[in-house]
């Protein structure tokens, strides 16, 4: 007899309140946070992501593109289908990019193996937060859409954690 453990639910503090700035930026008009006790905090904290009490907060003024879904497939998955989870995920990836930029060129970094291990672990933990947040969304996101978005970031997200000038 196996006892099946029930997953603890996470929660968002609010709905999204953001202003659109064409062509594809949204600026939060109030903070948006997501909290889930099952979040893996240590890989996130290793790259400087603050998650007190397993809570991630995007502050008022945070700039996001919602979800980086190619326009050609919006008929299948549109950015607003998974928007709250995507905004939290955007913040996590931004912090990973900032960590990588602060650590500099890996070829010359004295602890290159640790830096690479830290940001790879943080990406994996960030992608899991994205999935958990989609599971906790209200209204509910269909499972096929949730997993399509999750596997897209697992497979293609490595390009999104490369440092950028605007970070």
Q: What is the pLDDT of residues 12-50, one digit of tens each?
A: 999 999 999 999 899 999 999 999 999 999 999 999 999
Q: Is 21 helix (H, G, I), strand (E, B) or coil?
A: strand
pTM of the model: 0.91
Exposed/middle/buried for residue 111 (C-beta within 10 Å: 0-12, 13-18, 19+): exposed
Q: How confident is the model at residue 151 (pLDDT cuts 50, 70, 90)?
A: very high
Q: What is the pLDDT of residues 44-90, one digit of tens each?
A: 999 999 999 999 999 999 999 998 888 888 888 888 889 999 999 99
Whole-number pLDDT of residue 165? 84
């Amino acid at each position: 007899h196996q006892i099946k453990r029930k997953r603890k639910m996470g929660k968002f503090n609010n709905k999204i309140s953001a202003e659109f700035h064409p062509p594809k930026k949204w600026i939060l008009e109030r903070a948006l946070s997501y909290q889930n006790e099952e979040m893996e905090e240590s890989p996130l904290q290793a790259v400087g992501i603050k998650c007190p009490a397993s809570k991630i907060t995007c502050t008022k003024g945070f700039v996001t593109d919602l979800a980086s879904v190619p326009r050609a497939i919006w008929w299948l998955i549109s950015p607003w289908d998974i928007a709250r989870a995507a905004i939290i995920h955007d913040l996590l990836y931004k912090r990973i990019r900032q960590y990588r930029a602060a650590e500099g060129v890996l070829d010359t970094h004295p602890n290159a193996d640790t830096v690479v291990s830290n940001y790879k672990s943080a990406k994996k933990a960030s992608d899991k937060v994205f999935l958990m947040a989609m599971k906790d969304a209200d209204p509910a996101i269909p499972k096929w859409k949730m997993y399509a978005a999750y596997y897209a970031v697992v497979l293609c997200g490595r390009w999104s954690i490369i440092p950028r000038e605007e970070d």
